[in-house]
Amino acid sequence: MTTPTGDQALIKRINTAIVLEYILRGAPLSRAQISEQSGLNKATVSSLVQDLIDGSLVRETGTGQSSGGRKPVMLEFIATSGYAVGIDLGVNYIRGVLADLRGNIIAERTSSLRHPDPGAAAEQLCECIDSLMAEAPASPYGIVGIGVGVPGLVDDLGSILFAPNLKWRDVPLQQILTERFSLPVTIDNEANMGALGEQKYGAGRSISNLIYVSVGIGIGTGLILHKSLYKGASGFSGEMGHLSVEAHGRSCACGNRGCWELYASEQALLEQSAELGFEDLESLLVAAGEGRQDVLELFSGIGEYLGIGIANIVNVFNPDAVIIGNRMSQARPWLEGVLRQTVTQRALGFHLRKVQLLFAELGERSSMMGAAEMAIAGFFSRVKAT
Amino acid sequence: MTTPTGDQALIKRINTAIVLEYILRGAPLSRAQISEQSGLNKATVSSLVQDLIDGSLVRETGTGQSSGGRKPVMLEFIATSGYAVGIDLGVNYIRGVLADLRGNIIAERTSSLRHPDPGAAAEQLCECIDSLMAEAPASPYGIVGIGVGVPGLVDDLGSILFAPNLKWRDVPLQQILTERFSLPVTIDNEANMGALGEQKYGAGRSISNLIYVSVGIGIGTGLILHKSLYKGASGFSGEMGHLSVEAHGRSCACGNRGCWELYASEQALLEQSAELGFEDLESLLVAAGEGRQDVLELFSGIGEYLGIGIANIVNVFNPDAVIIGNRMSQARPWLEGVLRQTVTQRALGFHLRKVQLLFAELGERSSMMGAAEMAIAGFFSRVKAT
DNA sequence: CTTAGTTTGTCTATCCAATAAACTAAGTTT
DNA sequence: AAACTTAGTTTATTGGATAGACAAACTAAG
């Protein structure tokens, strides 16, 4: 094994990354400002900026305001020098996006999954990707990568080991897509993608430690710790849907008892609402909007159990923020009150001081945008390495 | 704000650290081996090794076996060029150690806490440190630092915000000790220290992701993720003793209900054993050793609840290992069976494949050794920076 | 014992990125 | 217009890493 050693190329990579980071965050700004803010020498900044300009990642946008001397030449990142594809593969839908390198949405596709069989789904997925790629304007780097979020366990090679709601086992999706498109492909769990999406483009912008709770049919979680996705020993963690909140509660298909998602997921809601004659979340939302008391009580129950689990999360991770996403986030108006109250009651005071309780800003787009972000991040780490 | 930028000094730091790491792990070994294994040029290794020799951190130990050419000059780390003090401040005891830079124990002190008052305790603590420091042989670096593990919440400035069992609030322990000894001082939670101790010197040697569960009067946890201690937003995470395992169970002093430590801690055990006439863990261990059925059942109950919580941990973190430490680890013979069975039943199959269930190897020394390791690690990060 | 080949570790010339300082360019203020 | 300011480039220097030459010290084959 060879540890990555330090040499001059490493320094250049590090400093290029710093310069690019400043331009990404603070544009428009001048070379002088970058030098002053980063501590890098003016000459160094000039040279690195020139490399970035040569690499079509940055351009000069003309002169800015003088502050008593020569006018600065302002710089900005060229978001349109490449595009990324982000896909959210759901249990019964495929949602896809074409985004530029800043995450601006260029095109979007939504379709329902015609057939849950892995082969057919992969085919439909490829069609979706093809049609999105066709929308990309000509650009220096073209399509820089494809990211896909899936509702299941994914190993580090991008194979779907197990997706219970799709009834898939061992589908080597990354391999299939890489062969088909000859592009870098990243596959990950839907909750991890959602966490990334919200951290980059949504409610959790630039928060270091956040937990994204994806409340859909089941409950999944994406953990961003120290600014990076935490994945456990085998590459999959965050199965917090199967955190037991009632040690001797109902048996779960996973083998455990009293799992959180038995009490706080969309599935749990629908089971309880069946006897009231509701079959899907949408009709329940409408009924709640009309003020139906029995429906409101259902949501309140879900809110309480969500709070119980989130209090646990807060106690365990002491995160900066917890973000509630996926389908259940639409029920925010009827959940939020009970939820906050429960968390406040149950979480430790010291932890509560800092934690923010948020709802996903990107709504149903969290996971898809996270997938696009994965592809973009992969591109950046590659260009910085050259 | 100035981001740390890359320059040549950074390269040297990185490469020095690499070389030192190889010598620490693989000693005795030669310059040639380091060069080959690390990928660094022979000349580079020679030069960096010379610096380390000049800095009294490495020495030549004579020639080794030839492999068909010139004999190599073997190198080893000089563990005795400095010493660290590690302290475990318990609810009713102070345990301290003087260790060399490899963590070899040079001297050890144990005393019971005379008075729980912060002032008196700090005084006793200083006496203990003084007497340990007096044991250190003369060495180039002398005492390189002091680490202290405490049973409470510690902020990033080393102040004890709250230690329920000591009844302390806002004790600026780091400041007190720094002023008194003029040495680098690190204060952290007892469970974090224990996790570090076991990861470095105990059952979890060089495991990347491990969760240390400290089962004493309460339950604390130390999280090592991606090889480094994870501390949450406010600098304290891992309050997993207050993970709720019975959503509608008994009320806990923390405000939550059904907290894990109400069911699986030493406290929980003692409450149940009171009616059998046992007052402390030690007598229960003796009784269990004699095969008393009612006591065995008590331990079995604790084992089951420990398993319930650990299954949750496994599902959330998917760690490489879970290590059970602190006082309750002495009951291993009567806990382990039920515990493993419960975890196997309740944790997700995919996660179980990799996770190891271990008991602390350092026993009561985990936390103290972790504290010493903190001091040693601090020393290394300082020398590498020069 | 000689000779060829191998391995270890050092030495030297070179490369490359960052930097300080000098410098050019292009403004503003008095 | 002169003096000052700020922006960005050029130039010479510094300090690490490196390849390759080299010396030292060994083994093994004849």
Q: What is the DSSP string of A121-156?
A: HHHHHHHHHHHHHHTPPP-SS-EEEEEEEESSEE-T
Q: Report, as an integer, the average pLDDT of A136-153.
A: 96
Looking at per-residue pLDDT, the higher value among B3 and B285 belongs to B285
Residue B208 pLDDT exceeds 90: yes
Neighbours of B123 (CB within 10 A): 15
A385 touches strand C (CB under 7 A): no
Across chain A, mean pLDDT equals 93
Predicted confidence at residue B359, as pLDDT, reads: 97
Q: Report, as an integer, the average pLDDT of B109-137.
A: 96
Residue A254 pLDDT exceeds 80: yes
Predicted confidence at residue A3, as pLDDT, reads: 58
Q: Report, as an integer, the average pLDDT of B340-364.
A: 92
Neighbours of B341 (CB within 10 A): 13
Residues 85-144 of B with CB under 8 A from A: none
CA distance A105 to A76: 19
Residue with tokens 């005393």: B111
List where CATH 3.30.420.40 sits in chain B.
81-195+366-384, 203-360
Predicted confidence at residue B378, as pLDDT, reads: 96
Residue B272 pLDDT exceeds 50: yes
In percent, how much of chain B has pLDDT > 90? 79
Residue with tokens 């030549």: B60
Cβ distance A120 to A89 under 8 Å? no
Band the pLDDT of B2: cuts 50, 70, 90: very low
Joined tokens for residue A95: 């949602």
- Note the CA–C1' distance, A56 to C23, in angstroms: 29
Residue A2 pLDDT exceeds 50: no
pLDDT tens by residue, B285-323: 999 999 999 999 999 999 999 999 999 999 888 999 999
Residue A1 pLDDT exceeds 60: no
Residue B4 pLDDT exceeds 70: no
Q: Report, as an integer, the average pLDDT of B226-250.
A: 85
Residue B385 pLDDT exceeds 70: no
Predicted confidence at residue B232, as pLDDT, reads: 81
CATH topology of domain B203-360: Nucleotidyltransferase; domain 5 (3.30.420)
Cβ distance B324 to B363 under 8 Å? no
Residue A27 pLDDT exceeds 90: no
Q: Give me the B residues in range 28-67 that sit within 7 A (CB) of strand C.
A: 30-33, 42-43, 46, 49-50, 67
Predicted confidence at residue A385, as pLDDT, reads: 60
Facing residue for B240 by CB, picked from A161, A316, A349: A316
A6 touches strand C (CB under 7 A): no
Looking at per-residue pLDDT, the higher value among B68 and A357 belongs to A357
Q: Report, as an integer, the average pLDDT of B178-183.
A: 98
Joined tokens for residue B269: 């055990």
Buried b / exposed e over A99-138, threshold 16 CB at 10 Å, is bbbebeeebebeeebeeeebeebbebbeebbeebbeebee
A70 touches strand C (CB under 7 A): yes
Predicted confidence at residue B386, as pLDDT, reads: 57
CA distance A279 to A282: 9
Residue A247 pLDDT exceeds 50: yes
Predicted confidence at residue B63, as pLDDT, reads: 87
Chain B: give the shortest CA distance to residue A344, in Å: 9
Q: Which CATH architecture has domain A205-360?
A: 2-Layer Sandwich (3.30)
Q: By the CB < 8 Å criterion, does A206 face chain B?
A: no
Q: Report, as an integer, the average pLDDT of B128-154.
A: 96
B356 touches strand D (CB under 7 A): no
Instruction: Return the amino acid letter for B254.
Output: C
Predicted confidence at residue B106, as pLDDT, reads: 98
List where CATH 3.30.420.40 sits in chain A.
81-195+366-384, 205-360
CA distance A30 to A28: 7
CATH code of the region A81-195+366-384: 3.30.420.40
Predicted confidence at residue B278, as pLDDT, reads: 92
Band the pLDDT of B3: cuts 50, 70, 90: low
Q: Of A231-235, A288-292, B69-73, which range is least confident?
A: A231-235
Beta bridge partners of A220: A214
Predicted confidence at residue B383, as pLDDT, reads: 79
Q: Report, as an integer, the average pLDDT of A213-223.
A: 93
Chain A: give the shortest CA distance to residue B243, in Å: 5
Predicted confidence at residue B1, as pLDDT, reads: 38
B74 touches strand D (CB under 7 A): no
CA distance B344 to B216: 24
In percent, how much of chain A has pLDDT > 90? 80
Q: Would you call B183 helix, strand, or coil by DSSP?
A: coil
Across chain B, mean pLDDT equals 92
- Note the CA–C1' distance, A14 to C27, in angstroms: 33
Nucleotides in D strand less than 7 A from protein CB: 4-12, 14-21, 23-28
CATH code of the region B8-77: 1.10.10.10
List where CATH 1.10.10.10 sits in chain B.
8-77
Q: Report, as an integer, the average pLDDT of B199-225.
A: 94
